[in-house]
């Protein structure tokens, strides 16, 4: 009795007409965490030091608000258009932190052997921490810079120290880091982000 070569005896692993044989499977690089922890802590600590120059520059270039003394008890009256400087103070601080965020994003990307999410998150947190410290230090330094030693006379015009009235401005620094680093990752296009020097 001869064996029949019917459909039941066909091998099940026959490749179809559109299949492509895979000779070598490409290994995707894994996210490096342990080796990047110490550099990430260094990045976080170094970036927090940016708060000092940021606070000093803002306290000197942010415009003060001028008001007129209209009462013998020190009552202040607003001058025309001077209240706009309250927004200017926020805008100046926002542009300074945004610029720092962009620079930090580029510098962090240039750390080729440490590219990845760990150092990127450290850069985000470092810029956010620098922004918080700069906000607190800058307001204090501005208050001391525009301090009034003697009681102002009636009708005189005095300058009030710049102030930051919204914490939302702290998002500009991490935004600059995120956009810059993301654009550089997209432009690179490699699975390992070019960490291997070879």
Note the pLDDT of residue 80. Answer: 75
- Give start and end residues of each alpha helix (H) in 11-116: 34-48, 51-61, 85-110
Note the pLDDT of residue 198. Answer: 43
Instruction: Give 87-94 contacts, CB < 8 A, sequence gap 24+.
Output: 88/62, 88/63, 89/62, 89/63, 89/162, 89/163, 89/164, 90/164, 90/165, 90/166, 90/169, 92/58, 92/61, 92/62, 92/63, 93/58, 93/62, 93/134, 93/135, 93/138, 93/164, 93/169, 94/169, 94/172
| Spatial CA neighbour of 78 closest among 160, 142, 164 | 160
Are 59 and 146 in contact by the 8 Å Cβ rule? The answer is no
pTM exceeding 0.75? yes
3-state secondary structure of 67: strand
What are the sequence ranges of the domains in the chain?
39-187
Note the pLDDT of residue 13. Answer: 52
The 10 Å CB-count burial string (b at 16+, else e) for 67-96 is bbbeeeeeeeeeeeebeebbeebbebbbeb
Over the stretch 61-105, which tens digit does the pLDDT of each residue have? Answer: 999 988 888 777 767 777 777 788 889 999 999 999 999 999 999
Over the stretch 149-164, which tens digit does the pLDDT of each residue have? Answer: 777 778 788 788 899 9
Residue count of the chain: 198
| Percent of residues, the chain, with pLDDT higher than 70 | 82
Note the pLDDT of residue 9. Answer: 52
The rounded mean pLDDT for the chain is 84
Query: 77 - beta bridge partners?
Result: 68
């Amino acid at each position: 009795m001869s064996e029949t070569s019917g459909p039941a005896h066909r091998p099940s692993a026959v490749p179809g007409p559109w299949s492509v044989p895979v000779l070598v499977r490409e290994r995707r690089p894994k996210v490096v965490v342990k080796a990047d922890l110490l550099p990430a802590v260094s990045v976080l600590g170094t970036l927090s030091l940016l708060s000092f120059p940021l606070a000093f520059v803002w306290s000197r270039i942010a415009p003060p608000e001028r008001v007129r003394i209209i009462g013998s008890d020190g009552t202040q009256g607003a001058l025309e258009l001077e209240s706009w400087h309250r927004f200017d103070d926020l805008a100046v601080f926002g542009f300074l932190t945004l610029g720092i965020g962009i620079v930090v994003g580029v510098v962090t990307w240039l750390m080729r052997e440490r590219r990845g999410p760990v150092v990127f998150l450290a850069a985000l947190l470092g810029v956010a921490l620098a922004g918080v410290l700069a906000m607190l230090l800058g307001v204090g330094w501005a208050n001391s810079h525009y301090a009034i030693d003697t009681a102002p006379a009636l009708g005189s015009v005095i300058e009030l120290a710049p102030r930051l009235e919204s914490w939302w401005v702290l998002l500009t620094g991490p935004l600059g880091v995120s956009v810059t680093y993301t654009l550089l990752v997209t432009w690179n296009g490699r699975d390992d982000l070019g960490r291997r020097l070879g």
